[in-house]
Structures are given as C-alpha cells and as structure tokens.
Amino acid sequence: MKRIAYWIICGVVACCLASCGGKKGSSDTTPKDSVQVPEFSADSAMASISTQCAFGPRTLGSQAHEECAQYIENAFRAAGCEVQRQEADFTFYNGQRYKGCNIIASYRPELTERILLCSHWDSRPWADNDPDPANHHKPVTAANDGASGVAVMIEVARLLKEQAPQVGVDFVCFDAEDAGVPEWETAFSGDDQATWCLGSQYWAEHPHRADFRFGILLDMVGGKGATFYKELFSQRYASSVVALVWDAAKDAGYSSAFVDEDGGGITDDHLPLNRVADIPTIDIIPYYPNMEHSFGPTWHTMNDTPENIDPNTLKAVGQTLLQVIYTY
C-alpha cells in the first residue's frame, strides 16, 4: 500500500462501470439462498499467518523470502491449484535491484468464467512508522500487512477443493508491494507513487491471463477492530464490484465490518490492475477513522505480529469472499 498517499473522507459519487464485474446474467437461475456456502476457518488462516511469520520478515533477497515463497506454493498446490512463479527484477527507490516473484495459483484454469483474488506477500523492509525511531530501519514481521491476505486466500483455496463452485478462481500473491520510499528518506526526488506496488505493476503488464470478470485485492485484513469502507478508486473503477462484495458481506452477516460508507483513495495493488490490465478490481483495506494514518496501530511497526491479529476480522473477510464466490 502506498502509505504516504492519503485517505480522504469525501462525498464523491464514484463512476458506475455497469459493464464491469457484477452479477451474471439472467440465464443463471439458481436461487442465491439455496446455495450452500462453506464455512471459513479463521483458525486455519491464523495458523498460516504464524507459519509465514515464523520464517522472519519476507524482504526481497532474504532466506525468509525464498522459504516463504516455497511454503505459499506448496499450500496452494495442496489445495489443488496449478501454481507458477512469475519471476522479475525489481528496482527499489534507491536504485537497488532485487530478484523477486509473483506467485500465481489457479483453481480449475480450464474454466473461462473467472474471479481474481490477490494480496501482497512481501514484508516492509523498514518499520518507518514505529513509535521508537531506533526501529525505523528494521524490517517488519508483517503479520497483517502481507501475511493476512495470503492466509485468507490459502484457506479459500482449500475450501474450493472440498466444495467446487461454478467459477474458476486465480490467486495472485504480489511481491515488492511494500518497497515504497520510507518516511525517513529525505533525498528522494522522483515519482514517489511509482516506488510502491512493484509486483502488481509487473503483473499488470505481463498477466498470466486476462479473462477475469473482476478482481478483489486483500490488504491488511486481520487487524483488531478493523472495519472496511468503500475505497475511492475501487468505486471509481469497479463500483459494481464494490456493491457485489458489500452485499455479500451483508448476506454473510458481516455488514458491521463492511461499512456502507465512502472511504478515501489509496495507491495499492488494485490500481495497476484497473489502469493497465483493465481488470475491474476493488481493494478491501481497513480504515480506522480515529487514527492519523488510518491503517491501524501496527502498520509499519515492529508490532505487526501474529499476536495482534484478530481471528474475527479474518473470518469476516474470508466468509464474505466465499459468499461472493459461491453465489456469483
């Protein structure tokens, strides 16, 4: 997520892209309330978060990064997905180059009716928002800001294997999302926005396929007390998908987590997917209205650890995604 970019609570009415995403046509006559939606296991997602974090911060070039990549690949394969790495060279804001990879897992790739789910899996190399300045150059464990979204997707994939929906699903774990200019850097004078979301920028220019009805990005979906507002760019590019997901949250019993109010705009992995890949994609990202930066108390700090993850938040997001997939 682009952390220097800001949230703006505003009354903007987002453009409605009626042709993008939304429900299938009237030929699908299966009553929504007759579909059995599987139960999302927050305990399973919590276990995945702990496993990812046990490797250490997943910064590019580290052993933890490679070990976690192998874990993610194996977890999706165990869920019956076809898995591939999309390797790339990423140049950070300071000119340092790293080899990284997007991890792509496809459930029933032969189906042409498809949904894209995505999250980033890397760790922020610098805890530049930590209250202790001594920690500002240390890497973040990234339990919420990275591992939570991946964990939710792995659990969703496991359930797809057990109970097949009528649509195909692709899961993409983006690398180098949190590579953006740190708060303490004063010498950088380039395009700050372009230093974030490097993996999704690359994927948007080199998608493994492009026949998605819509996409849903998960970012920091495990925080304590987290609520999710309707993000500005999500509404601008994919308003019908926002409506679809928020309706699904209501149907699943989680309308208190998915607040029916407008949020602000954030530079995140969904922007390259909308602007470059032309896939209508929304961002499920928390908004804490009473905090200065709005992303929650552990954001880019040394406290972003599994102990500060709330299973109830994981459950709300995971069950909502399943509601979307199985009733779409």
Q: Helix 42-54 and helix 311-327: axis angle, to 10°?
A: 120
Q: Backbone phi, then psi, for 53, in 5-degree steps?
A: -70, -25
Q: Is 160 within a domain? A: yes
User: According to the model, what pLDDT value does residue 27 have?
Assistant: 41
Mean pLDDT of the chain: 91
pLDDT by residue (tens digit) across 277-312? 999 999 999 999 888 888 999 999 999 999 999 999
The pLDDT score that the predictor gives to residue 292 is 80
Please name which of 207, 31, 50 lies closest in space to residue 114, comparing C-alpha atoms. 207
Asked whether residue 23 carries a pLDDT value surpassing 70, the answer given is no
CB 83 within 8 A of CB 183: no
Give a yes or no: residue 2 inside a domain.
no
Say yes or no to pLDDT of 188 above 50: yes
| Domain range for 141 | 32-327
- The percent of residues in the chain predicted with pLDDT above 90, rounded, is 85
Distance separating alpha carbons of residues 213 and 169, to the nearest angstrom: 10
Strands (E), the chain: 82-91, 97-107, 114-120, 168-174, 212-218, 228-230, 258-262, 281-284
- In this predicted model, what pLDDT tens digit does every residue of 126-163 receive, in sequence order? 999 999 999 999 999 999 999 999 999 999 999 999 99
- Measured CA to CA, the distance from residue 3 to residue 232 in angstroms comes to 15
* pLDDT above 70 for 9: no
Total tally of structural domains belonging to the chain? 1
Per-residue pLDDT at 63 exceeds 80: yes
Span 241-263, mean pLDDT?
97
pLDDT at 291: 83
Percentage of the residues of the chain whose pLDDT score is greater than 70: 90
Beta carbons of 321 and 117 less than 8 angstroms apart: yes
How confident is the model over 205-218, as a mean pLDDT? 97
- Note the pLDDT of residue 189: 87
Q: Is residue 300 in a domain?
A: yes
Residue 54 and residue 56: Cα distance in Å, rounded? 5
Residue 230 reports pLDDT greater than 90: yes
The pLDDT, as a whole number, for residue 18 is 35
**pLDDT, average across residues 249-272:** 96
- CB-CB contact of 231 with 1 (8 Å): no
Q: Indicate whether 119 belongs to any domain.
A: yes
Instruction: Return the structure tokens found at 289.
Output: 């209205």
H and E: helices and strands count for the chain: 7, 8
- The per-residue pLDDT for 13 is 36
With 60 as the cut, is the pLDDT of residue 10 above it? no
Please say whether the beta carbons of 35 and 291 come within 8 A.
Answer: no
When pLDDT is cut at 50, 70 and 90, the band that residue 7 belongs to is: very low
Q: Residue 82, class by beta-carbon neighbours within 10 Å (0-12 exposed, 13-18 middle, 19+ buried)?
A: middle
Q: Comparing 24-28, 64-68, 324-328, which segment has the lowest mean pLDDT?
A: 24-28
Tell me the three state secondary structure of residue 86.
Answer: strand
Range with lowest mean pLDDT among 31-40, 214-223, 307-316: 31-40
For residues 64-88, give the mean pLDDT: 98
Residue 31 pLDDT class (50, 70, 90 cuts): low
Residue 61 lies in a domain: yes
pLDDT confidence band for 33 (50 / 70 / 90):
low
Count of residues in the chain:
328
- Checking if the pLDDT of 1 tops 80, the result is no
Q: Coil, strand or helix: which one is 24? A: coil
Instruction: Count CB-CB contacts under 10 A for residue 26.
Output: 6
Residue 1 in domain? no
Q: For the chain, what is the radius of gyration of the CA atoms?
A: 18
pTM confidence score: 0.92
> 244 CB contacts (<8 Å, ≥6 apart)?
21, 22, 23, 214, 324, 328
At 85, the amino acid letter reads R
pLDDT over threshold 70, residue 315: yes
**Any domain includes 14:** no
pLDDT in tens, 94-115: 999 999 999 999 999 999 999 9
Q: What's the CATH code of the domain at 233?
A: 3.40.630.10
9 is a domain residue: no
